[in-house]
Structures are given as C-alpha cells and as structure tokens.
C-alpha cells in the first residue's frame, strides 16, 4: 500500500485539515499476500480507478486512529481497496450550528478533491463507507442522504440515534453542533431518514454492535426499523463492548462483506 498523510485547505471549513489515504499497489511487499490494485489486471481498466472505502473516526479520535488501533493497511491490501480516513473533529459529520461545515466537507468537497487528485473510482458500485461510534452515525448518514453514491455502508457500534443521545457530559458540544433546539427534526435524524427512504434505492447496510455496549438500544431499534422498511441490512448483535478489540474484528468482517470488484 501507498500511505499518504494529506494536510490541505478545505474551502468549506475555511481552514486547513487532514486526512490519511491508503492506495493499493501491485507489489504487496514481503510477508503480504494481498490482492493487486483494482483495475491493474485489466478488469475495468486502469483509468477506471480503484474501489474506495471512506473510513470514519469516532468522537474522541482523529484521522490516524484506525491505523493506530487496527491493522487496516494490511486488511485493505488483502482486498485491493483504497481507504480514505478524514478528520472531522467532534462534529458528528454535520454542518455545525456555531462551527464548521463538516458535512459539506465530507459529503461534497472531499470526494470531489480526491477524484481530481487520485486514481480512485467515483462509480457507485466502487464506493463504500464505514465508521465506528460517531463515525458509524456518519456512515449511515451518508448512505441515507446519498444512496446514489454508495454501494454499501457499515456502522460499528454506531451512535445511530442522536435525538436521544446523552451528551450532557460533553459540555457545549451538542449546542455547538445542533444549536439549542437539538438534533430532533434535523437532517441528522437517521430514523426519520430511514422511514422516508425508498428501501429499493438504499445501499446494502451492515450493522455491528456489542451486547454490552451502551449504544445497543439505538442499534436494536435501527435494526427493527430497517427490517420493517425492507432495507437490505446485515446485522450482528454479538458479545462485546465499545472497544477497539471489537472494532478491529468488525472491520475485517466488513471488508470481507463489501462487494469489491476483483
């Protein structure tokens, strides 16, 4: 894999920000048995670009956390997929009421910038998103708002119901992101988005949450609603807590589940 740390200016944020990008290469390296870069063998042609996974961080983390807590580079090499890990601070992947426009950055500006800069496919069938906790919320938000852009989306221990999420411990975080009225009735209500969605147009969805996780109730309710609406959902409510041991195992299973072009 080629690893790049991007330090760049985001017009939607009005400031510099960062991201980590992993790009496949044909030579996997000693000790690796990874797949060759997508398109390198003539399937789709080199100009088509490689499949990409946008991998989102949680509330207390940054764009480097997936690399520091898992072997995501090794896992991605085995599947021949690019991985983009952007920085969004504690924004809940939203255009903050009294802060920065991280939703605009993640959903619009960053994908367009990457498409101009790297050999990453922009085809829906090659584009995936996943994340943990706050990042799981972000992944489902992207999937529900833009089902035409993503073939699959995965939430690991996702903070899926921000309308009931207790953020009193986080000081002014909630007010900064959603204002004094809170997230209810906004475009961040995933349950309202799922109820309104046409299930036949949605990406394939994956939900993984530990039975000892404090976010289990919201995940169970999301599973029930997705099943009621007829969404294509794979769910796993299994023993585990809000830990990197759980997510390290989970992201390997997500990569195996994704319909990546071979």
Q: pLDDT tens digit string along 231-258? A: 999 999 999 999 999 999 999 999 999 9
Q: What is the pLDDT of residues 4-43, one digit of tens each?
A: 999 999 999 999 999 999 999 987 567 766 554 444 443 4
Domain boundaries, the chain: 2-257
**Residue whose C-alpha is closest to residue 157's, from 85, 68, 74, 57:** 57
Q: Please state the pTM of the whole predicted model.
A: 0.94
C-alpha to C-alpha distance for 4 and 157, rounded to whole angstroms: 27
| Separation in Å, CA 42 to CA 2, 37, 45, 49, 70 | 20, 10, 5, 11, 31
| SS3 readout for 68-117 | HHCCHHHHHHHHCCEEEEECCCCCCCCECCCCCEHHHHHHHHHHHHHHHH
CATH topology classification for 2-257: Rossmann fold (3.40.50)
C-alpha to C-alpha distance for 262 and 259, rounded to whole angstroms: 9
């Amino acid at each position: 894999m080629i690893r790049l740390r991007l330090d760049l200016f985001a017009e939607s944020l009005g400031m510099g920000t960062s991201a980590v990008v992993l790009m496949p290469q044909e030579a996997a390296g000693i000790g690796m048995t990874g797949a060759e870069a997508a398109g390198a063998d003539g399937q789709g042609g080199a100009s088509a670009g490689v499949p990409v996974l946008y991998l989102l961080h949680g509330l207390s983390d940054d764009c480097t956390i997936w690399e520091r807590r898992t072997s995501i580079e090794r896992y991605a090499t085995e599947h021949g997929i690019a991985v983009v890990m952007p920085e969004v601070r504690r924004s809940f992947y939203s255009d903050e009421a009294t802060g920065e426009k991280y939703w605009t950055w993640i959903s619009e500006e960053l994908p367009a910038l990457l498409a101009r800069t790297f050999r990453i496919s922009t085809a829906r069938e090659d584009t995936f998103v996943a994340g943990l906790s706050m990042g799981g919320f972000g992944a489902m938000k992207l999937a529900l708002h833009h089902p035409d852009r993503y073939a699959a989306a995965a939430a690991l221990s996702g903070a899926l119901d921000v309308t009931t999420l207790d953020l009193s411990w986080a000081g002014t975080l909630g007010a900064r992101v959603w204002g004094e009225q809170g997230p209810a009735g906004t475009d961040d209500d995933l349950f309202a988005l799922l109820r309104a969605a046409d299930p036949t147009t949605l990406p394939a969805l994956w939900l993984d949450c530990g039975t000892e996780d404090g976010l289990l109730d919201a995940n169970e309710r999301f599973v029930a609603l997705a099943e009621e609406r007829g969404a294509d959902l794979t769910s796993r409510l299994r023993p585990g807590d809000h830990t990197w041991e759980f997510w390290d195992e989970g992201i390997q299973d997500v990569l195996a589940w994704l319909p990546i072009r071979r």
